[in-house]
Amino acid sequence: MKVSMTVNGKGVERDVEPRMLLVHFLREELDMTGTKIGCDTSQCGACTVHLDGKALKSCTMLAVQADGADITTIEGLANGDLHVMQESFWENHGLQCGYCTPGMIMSTTALVQDNPNMSEGEIRHQLEGNLCRCTGYHNIVKAVQQASEKMGGGD
């Protein structure tokens, strides 16, 4: 089936099997391997991207369902240097092995945009869709708090 969408501001068109997952489309067809796969049951969140501005686990959608959509992946998040959330993860040691990180950053970026004034408890609760095995979440929470403060100014 023919599918076309905008990925990180660029129009793409491919002929794919109807069953192809969006995450495989990004990784295999477009060779954009920043988006990761950590499970097969939509728990881990490593594959989170933005679809029309909303965070979405790209393993939960077929590529053909994303026809016409506007997708942003970790590779396209920053407008220039680094996004505030990327900087905050770096500064606060919010990552170790880095495998959950692209999904974490995509997920929390959308989260903070929608909820700029979350408490620590709310951030922890909101992170339930993204799993990390290295950091104990401690510094991820700190990173989100810091980014949240910086993004509060209408970033």
Indicate whether 93 belongs to the interface with another protein (CB under 8 A).
yes
Q: Residues near 138 by Cβ (< 8 Å), separated by ≥ 6?
A: none
Q: Which of 23, 84, 118, 140 binds another protein (CB under 8 A)?
A: 140
Among 82, 114, 152, 155, binds another protein (CB under 8 A): 82
Pull the structure tokens for residue 124: 């922890």
Region from 50-58, 61-69, 70-78, 111-119 binding another protein, contact rule CB under 8 A: 70-78
Q: How far is the CB of 125 from another protein (least distance, A)?
A: 5
Interface residue with another protein, options 63, 123, 147, 151 (CB under 8 A): 123
Which residue number, 30 or 66, has a Cβ lying nearer to another protein? Answer: 30
Q: 148, 117 in Cβ contact below 8 A?
A: yes
Q: Are 133 and 104 in contact (CB under 8 A)?
A: no
Which tokens sit at 128? 């339930």
Which residue in this structure is represented by tokens 């100014």?
A: 153
CA 70 – CA 65 distance, rounded (Å)? 12
The DSSP-derived string for 27-73 is IIIS--TTS----SSS-S-TTEEEETTEEEETTSSBGGGGTT-EEE-
Least distance CB 153 / another protein (angstroms): 22
| Chain positions contacting another protein, by CB under 8 A | 17, 19-20, 27-28, 31-41, 43-44, 46, 73-75, 78, 82, 86, 89-91, 93, 95-102, 105, 120-121, 123-125, 127-128, 131-141
